[in-house]
Structure 1
Amino acid sequence: MKIEAVIEEKLLSAFSPIHLDVINESHQHNVAPGSESHFKVIIVSKDFEGERLIKRHRAINSILAEELADKIHALALHTYTEKEWKTYYAENTPLSPKCLGGGKKAG
């Protein structure tokens, strides 16, 4: 199964998001064609209500620990409550930071 699909499946199961985008941004980096090493996740969930950003990110990192340990080089997380999403971001998806190098080449 592709890494992108694994990420999506795990996050759907863990957070029942109102909105979820898993975007493979590997093609924007110095990696082999077809790589799945750089991702952006935009997730909106009721589970994030009252939670600080660090706790939201830790929860996702915990769910994706296996993939982060060995398959994913970079994971940009954009985590929102429904209110935050509707108020600030629904029309303007945030950009991921530029990669400063490195990468996992397909073997």
Structure 2
Amino acid sequence: MLTANELRSFIMNGLPCDHVEVLGDDGQHFEAVIVSPAFQGKRTLQHHQLVYGVLGSRMHAEIHALSMKTFTPEEWSKQV
């Protein structure tokens, strides 16, 4: 069973990130906040596609649902 910490590591190892928070306690349903400079100049859908690309087959096998809030570092600085 996948943990939130493992999912966070997968995201951080596959995408340059300034900040990643992952919540989820059932091993299949997760919520994530991801801040990455790789999102710069891209639409939200493209942000999500980048994350899905990093997670690859885990999205079909280990992760049933992943709710994401994605931000560029500039957008994130306005949120905090």
Instruction: Give TM class, smaller chain.
Output: 0.7 to 0.9
Count of paired positions = 80
Equivalent-residue separation in structure 1 for 2:66 and 2:52 (angstroms):
9
Quote the residue 1:58 is aligned against. Answer: 49
Larger proportion of helix: 2
- 4+ residue stretches of structure 1 with deviation over 3 A? none
Quote the residue 1:83 is aligned against. Answer: 74
Structure-2 change in CA distance of 1:48 and 1:60 (3 Å): same
TM-score by length of 1: 0.66
Quote the residue 2:9 is aligned against. Answer: 9
Displacement of 1:36: 0.7
Find the residue that maps to 1:5 and give its secondary structure. Answer: helix
Displacement of 1:56: 0.8
Unaligned segments of structure 2, at least 5 residues: none
The structure having more radius of gyration, on CA atoms, is 1
Displacement of 1:6: 2.9
RMSD: 1.6
TM-score by length of 2: 0.86
Quote the residue 1:99 is aligned against. Answer: none
Larger proportion of strand: 2
Percent of aligned pairs sharing the same letter: 26
Displacement of 1:40: 0.6
Displacement of 1:11: 1.1
Find the residue that maps to 2:57 and give its secondary structure. Answer: helix
Displacement of 1:23: 0.8
